[in-house]
Amino acid sequence: MPKFFYFTLLTGILVYFSACQSETVYTSSALTQPPVKVRVKPTYEAEDRSYEAHWGDLNFPVVNDPLPANKVKQFTISKDSLFKNLYKPLSFTKGGEPMDLDVIAVVVYNRVNGQPSMYHFYERNNFAVDTSSAYGNTLKHYIDNGAHISIRGFRENIPINSVAFAIEDPEAEYRPPVYFKSLNFIEKEVFNFQLYTAMGRKTLVRLDTVAAESKAIFQMYRDKSDLYEILHIPGFKTIRRSLKDEEKLWPSDDFIRINLLDKTKSWPKDLQYYPEYYEFEGKTIQLNWGQLKTPSIADKTQDTWKWRYGPKWDGWPEKEDLYIFLAQALKKPLKLMVDEEVWTPVRFDCWITSETTEDYRFLVEDIRHPEVKKVLETLPQRSSIYIDNLLIKNKNGDIRWFPIPFAFHFP
């Protein structure tokens, strides 16, 4: 009897752990059908598509995505329509019946300052924008300048449903949907440790645990294992003493992405395990893609708002030439130029976003991959291509996480 009991217990444990494996990485060689989209951390599971979000007289089918990404392009409304409903109640329903929620949040990704702003409403019997509050006027200002908006319902601090839509503004100047938060750290200071914070786990202390200069930091955190996890990275240095997941270009857990890994499929996908590139001072750094080139990072101008959306190149060609350059670039690999030295991208996130078509985020090793090329060949105007979470290799074979994203914009 005891042998049978322990055998059953062991079988149960093995089944449990096999069910809790991390996200599957689909490689190009293993695919027998088109790549599937894999969510890293679902906010909810809902097979029943009778969920709807309501803002006054406006009704939106719920989209299982908390960020204004793929499905937001299917839902656009005019400014006038939203203004008419701005102070009317917000709600979520399932099968026509109101859902019991603790909080409804409105997140505005605005074009005024390039930052997402979240507004929480707690009055359960009347989730609505208060006409007497300052944020009502702020919301109106953001909406008037064009924005993506996400409505999210929460229960016990857990996101239950969300829906995203865009304010229709086809005549406005094209501005990319996100801005670069990390540019302000360049050429200011280099640190020998980093506190990396992400929701749902301990704070990581990234450092070289045997380096003399980080000895005091190691001793400070090593006995606080209930709050901190030490991550040893030989020779570690960084331009950011602290990093929160939400400070990235997009938080890493809020994506649907297509994985196209082959050579690096067994590598850790979490970038905190890699040493970081930090030698920005005095360096001219540029991402080249055929004739498309980002400007040198050394040419950053602090007072130019456009820098928040990625470096702008003074010699940027006219719109018509951009697409000629793009067609030619599709045959070329990416190259990161550090002064005269070429660093080779070995893996990166390629996020392709536009105002009118579906968004894609690929985890890929070469931008010439057929699945990526298929999307880029039909890239419309008012689009952007972001290269983020870049792993690069120098001539000596050293691998680094490059902490700054790049972007090519197609207005």
pLDDT tens across the length of the chain (411 residues): 444 444 444 444 443 333 333 333 333 233 333 333 333 333 434 444 467 889 999 988 775 544 434 444 457 788 888 889 988 999 988 888 888 898 898 888 766 665 677 888 887 767 888 766 677 788 888 777 767 788 888 888 787 777 877 787 666 677 676 767 667 677 678 999 999 987 677 899 999 999 999 999 999 999 998 999 999 999 999 988 988 876 677 654 445 678 899 999 999 888 888 999 999 888 888 899 998 888 777 655 544 445 555 655 445 556 667 778 888 899 999 999 999 899 999 999 998 888 777 778 899 999 999 999 999 999 888 888 999 889 999 999 999 999 888 888 887
- The architecture that CATH gives domain 51-167 is Sandwich (2.60)
Whether the Cβ atoms of residue 332 and residue 372 lie closer than 8 Å to each other: no
Residue 233 three-state SS? coil
**Main-chain phi, psi angles of 19, to 5 degrees:** -80, -15
Torsion sign over Cα 176, 181, 186, 191: negative
Q: Where are the domains of the chain?
A: 24-33+255-411, 51-167
Q: Which residues contact 44 (CB under 8 A, 6 or more apart)?
A: 64, 158, 159, 160, 161
What is the spatial distance between Cα 356 and Cα 379, in angstroms, rounded to a whole number? 10
Residue 404 three-state SS? coil
pTM above 0.85, yes or no: no
